[in-house]
Amino acid sequence: MFSKQTKTPAKTLPPAAPSTPTPALVIPEQPKARPRVASLISDGITIEGGVTGDGELQIDGVVRGDVRVGRLTVGDTGHIEGSVFAEAIEVRGRVIGAVTAKQVRLYGTAYIDGDITHEQLAMETGAFFQGRSLKFQRPATPPPSQPAPQAAAAPLSGEVLPAPAPIA
């Protein structure tokens, strides 16, 4: 078990026959897309005016104006006075104004005074919400068109139908 054993030499393969070299396929290396880091409006910063962008934004300070971003997080000290539009919103702080997003999550420290228009709404115990919760109204797909029947319809009450044309 613990005795020293002699190792057998590894078997070597015979040299390969020369063959025509195959050209190596060189694929240029694609630059890797760096993950986008959320922008931050930190505590102690106040912005007067709207904020727009496509990326992610975390607000721990104050924004007095509309906010339109891809993804929004309102931190515990965050405060927004204006309308908010995003794909997804998480609120721990305060929003005074309308909120519109596909996904809205209100944590226990959230304070919302305004209507929320959403597809999904999640609220923790302790969250304050004063306003209306409006679910997105997706456009209804029209039913497949069916040919109208050619038979003469019976007149509705009080409706007079024109006389049919004579057949020659």
Q: Classify residue 5 as exposed, middle or buried by CB count within 10 Å of its CB (0-12, 13-18, 19+).
A: exposed
| Percent share of the chain, pLDDT over 70 | 61
Cβ atoms < 10 Å from Cβ of 85:
16
The per-residue pLDDT for range 117-129, each reduced to its tens digit, is 999 999 999 999 9
Reduced DSSP (H G I as helix, E B as strand, rest coil) percent helix, strand, coil of the chain, to 5? 0, 35, 65
| Model confidence at 147: pLDDT above 80 | no
The per-residue pLDDT for range 44-55, each reduced to its tens digit, is 999 999 999 999
Residue the block writes with tokens 């992610």: 56
Residue 53 phi, psi dihedral angles, 5° rounding: 170, 175
The per-residue pLDDT for range 51-92, each reduced to its tens digit, is 999 999 999 999 999 999 999 999 999 999 999 999 999 999
pTM, entire model? 0.61
Q: Is 63 helix (H, G, I), strand (E, B) or coil?
A: strand
pLDDT of residue 57: 95
pLDDT of residue 136: 83
Alpha-carbon span 71 to 78, nearest angstrom: 15
- For residue 40, what is the enclosing H or E element? strand 39-41
Q: Is 101 helix (H, G, I), strand (E, B) or coil?
A: strand
